[in-house]
Amino acid sequence: MGVRVVPRMLRIVGAGPMIDPAGRRPGRVPGAADVARRMEAVRKPVLRALLIFGIWTLVGLVTTEIRAASLALRGEEVAWARILLYGLASVWLWALYTPAVLRMAKRWPVLGSGIGLRSVAVHTLFALGLTLLDTVLLSRLITWAVQPETVISLPAHFFSILTLNLFSYAVVACAGSAGALLRELRDREAAAERLEAQLARAQLVALRSQLHPHFFFNTLNAIAELVHRDAEAADLMIARLASFLRRSLEAGDAHEVPLGEELEAMEAYLDVVRLRFGDRVAVSVEVEPDALGALVPPLLLQPLVENAVRHGLEPSPAGGRLEVVGARRGDRLVLEVRDDGVGLPADPEARREGIGLRNTRDRLRRLHGDAATLGVTERPGGGVAAVVMLPYRTGVGGGGEDGGMGVHGLSAAASAARPGSGVGSGARGGLA
């Protein structure tokens, strides 16, 4: 007894969709996205046709009322059925002509820089052709439905409607060209916003790429100082540096992260501070709970903390206290890094900004424009306070092209971030 093999569907891995031996491809069940696209493709033309039909119907009703009023004023009989039929039929014919006129206006603009003698000539000939067609169709309509006993002279009827038809053609063509110009303007504005947002993202990435080597260089210098006199502390510092590197890689290209994540990343540097200075530096972090979800640029606090340690506490023989404070004030997020160290230098020339503060200021300006400030001032009791104020916003930080900001948000911030707009001011000598 033989075995019969019935060929079914064959599939070759990597060779595309399944086919049967006869070469037929199985039908693909359309998904929700396909159905939505098809419905959208049908909906737009239908809505456009209904809009054209509705506008011309309104015009027909208005002109019919005007014609009826004119007949009544002259004491003539108002035959509403005939007047209404003629009025609506004439405008509905123009509703049929309108798509062709709009296509002509798109191909040969009547407004803007594209207009010329050739364009005027083309539209004039096309308008005369439509008027001739309109003459024939309206004449047939009148003799068939409105006044069957009437004998219409086509040349006389042509010239009687020529002026009105030319005016109607000009209105439709100008409306089509105006709509095309508006669409072109919107497209250009959208393209400009996308380009500006891409530029803003590129600038933020460049600024962040400057900050990472700056932090690594300073941390490696600190490790080099410890490696010969306290190998165990140097080993722990290397481990904390590795933890910071891992967090930076996990953050990806995000331009904003929740403040809670930023504080966790800052702990890597605070551990380095504790290992280096021991009891000489006391560290305090006080952040209100409702501020932890606020979005901030990554590595916002680390340069401020590093600046306070290197230029405020480290030069002080007695060390001092470092405080990081965060709170929400209405629609603003206020972050403050304080120290009670040596304070700002007396010489104004020595109060220059280093990479860390300058980079932080630039990133705030790129993200928020004038809505964010960074100020560095002396404290009345001694030491320095670096205060950051920025808009309070919450959301999912990280990931995505915009890193928590939409294209419009980035482009708007980039527009506001012009030289001289200023994100705060003030610095201490040799700031990080």
- The answer on 152 and 41 residing in a single domain is yes
3-class SS letters over 146-161 = HCCCCCCCHHHHHHHH
Say if 210 falls within a structural domain: no
Side-chain half-sphere of 425: how many Cα atoms within 13 Å? 3
- What is the number of structural domains in the chain? 2
Say if 3 falls within a structural domain: no
Percent of the chain with pLDDT over 70: 69
Give the end-to-end CA distance of the chain in Å, rounded to a whole number. Answer: 90
- The answer on 115 and 236 residing in a single domain is no
**Beta strand pairing call for 332-339 and 384-391:** antiparallel
Q: List, edge to edge, every strand of the sheet that includes 332-339.
A: 281-287, 320-329, 332-339, 384-391, 373-378
- The answer on 142 and 45 residing in a single domain is yes
Report which of 235, 313, 244 is spatially closest to residue 275, judged by C-alpha positions.
Answer: 235
Report which of 367, 346, 380, 364 is spatially closest to residue 409, judged by C-alpha positions.
Answer: 367
Tokens of 266: 């800052």
Question: pLDDT digit string (tens) for 97-131?
Answer: 898 888 888 888 878 665 678 888 888 898 888 88
Integer CA distances (angstroms), 36 to 29, 33, 70, in order: 14, 5, 51
- The answer on 402 and 274 residing in a single domain is yes
- The answer on 286 and 183 residing in a single domain is no
- The answer on 159 and 72 residing in a single domain is yes
Give the separation between CA 175 and CA 195, rounded to whole angstroms. 30
Question: pLDDT digit string (tens) for 310-324?
Answer: 888 888 888 899 999
Give the type of residue at 188. R
- The answer on 248 and 152 residing in a single domain is no
Give the separation between CA 246 and CA 3, rounded to whole angstroms. 62
Strand (E) or helix (H) holding 282:
strand 281-287
Say if 201 falls within a structural domain: no
Are 431 and 353 spatial neighbours (Cβ–Cβ below 8 Å)?
yes
- The answer on 244 and 99 residing in a single domain is no
Domain extent at residue 109: 37-190
∠ Cα 341 362 302 (to 5°): 40
pTM surpassing 0.75? no
Give the separation between CA 319 and CA 281, rounded to whole angstroms. 5
Question: pLDDT digit string (tens) for 385-417?
Answer: 999 999 999 874 443 334 444 433 433 343 434
Between residues 147 and 18, the one the model is more confident about: 147
φ, ψ of residue 49 to 5 degrees: the values are: -65, -40
* Long-range CB contact pairs, 345-350, < 8 A, 24+: 345/428, 345/429, 347/429, 350/429, 350/430
Identify the weakest region by mean pLDDT among 99-113, 240-254, 330-344: 240-254
* pLDDT attached to residue 2: 45
- The answer on 255 and 186 residing in a single domain is no
Say if 121 falls within a structural domain: yes
- The answer on 172 and 256 residing in a single domain is no
Integer CA distances (angstroms), 52 to 95, 162, 172, in order: 6, 22, 10
- The answer on 157 and 98 residing in a single domain is yes
Identify the weakest region by mean pLDDT among 30-44, 141-155, 197-211: 197-211
